[in-house]
Chain A
């Protein structure tokens, strides 16, 4: 069947149909992104924490802007080439467009990856530490400054992966699994950990169950194994199914009897007196086992990710319903490298309470417990004093409403209360704030910790006690609403880039036949794909300044 008006325009609209369709789609896209821009403004105006202004490295965003603008030019050139019946040029320009889209997504991927491996933690006093966590060494030893452990020195989980020093350690003597919900991977990790410590995890009591046909017995002292838990779950579920059938059948029977005993009455008048005859089915019920207790001998320190456990001094509960008994061990978060400390939120809270932010910062746990951070803070204060002086000299003063002489320009809160990784570099290089030399790779990927280690650039081995942590996260959507909207908007935009690139790639690689049969048809389709591509560029033109520069 031939689709009408895809090459020649309709007389009433003056347009070919697919053009109307794409503009309708773009109008809906404007509303979609408009909603997200609206959400961004709302989140920013309503933020109850200092909004991270100009927090992202600009270079990746800038390069991506150039890449997208370039691809917008090449896609319109590709369309023009088709209109002029130049297949070779069309291939060239469309090929460049596709390459641009790949470059864009690769750069975006690198940007996301850097963020998702960057740790942040907000302490109870609202100071924020950012950096990279260390990995656990065997026997609880920490990696010290400048130390280069061998691969064999690290503690590994049962998947053979290193363990970040951000885990809750709990020395368990009893573990009770939820029969239905236990998480196999955690069970295996516990088994591996116990084996490593020469401890045994054994069934605490004998369980006598039935699989519905014959009795099954699980002897006390049986060593924990996933297949053991699976067998118990199977027996438990069979018993539960059997018992619920018995109860349902019995209730039906009771209902029939009640109906017969209450002729002429409405159901609701006697319904509340109809109950299961427990005595009649008691001897047919099979034993159920909703939880399975195990003993750990000797007790073993297991570690869990903070989000997986709710811990107390002598007990813990995992997300899969597993209950632990024993004792909680010290479980500090250890930053192998700190690349920023941020007191903006602390200063904001201090001002709300009428406390001088400078005093609050001096009294913060971070500065009191870590001389290296205190030293960095003192250096930073000196630099900000110099900046203040410079701004005063360059821009002068004016009189405020009360007639007081005030500086025209003053340092921002970010400058005043945040020591960023570039500041640590400036300090280590012995230059003033803002005079540091940062290479393109670092501007893109963030600080080169190991390359700068010999200069002791970044404070290392900073220990944050667990009880001081208010909230911790990678730079992921969970960290704050800024990162939530950043990932949402750029992620949605990235999906549009992928979608658009696939359509354009289809024209490039599968369009030759269409070109030979009717070049104008392909030109129209490329124009439609190009319109979408320009729209993707147009959205980025706003996203870039809003997310990276404001």
Chain B
């Protein structure tokens, strides 16, 4: 009981060295139990902010296979540890409960989303590519010029993708004969 009274914040505020209640007087057992997410993390991974093109450094803190905190990387000569509001929101971007994590499928003329297995989706997309490509293939034009392409498959994306991803896209599309391959960089 006595301990309880002594731990009462108002008593501590009035009797202690913290009359404004901004420091020690406001502490509680709950406060003492709290630790920084960064101190309990079991890993820190070096990363780069995914928003604008300044390229600020990020440290990604993880615990049990989940991202728990994202902070500016003080080592970066570009950002020197700073992040803007968008960069600072990275944790909520990557852990958003609104994020869809399953394939969604809308059949032609359908009115609702349906579930679809990822592997099946890949096979169906492969079918669509092959069928469309075959149907719209242009080997030569009316002047006999070599075209070797399809104008039936287009692509748009993506300025937030990795270079390696863009590379595989361009490589695969070109081999497929697709030429309407475009990017945010134009629009």
Task: Report if A and B associate in a common complex.
Answer: no
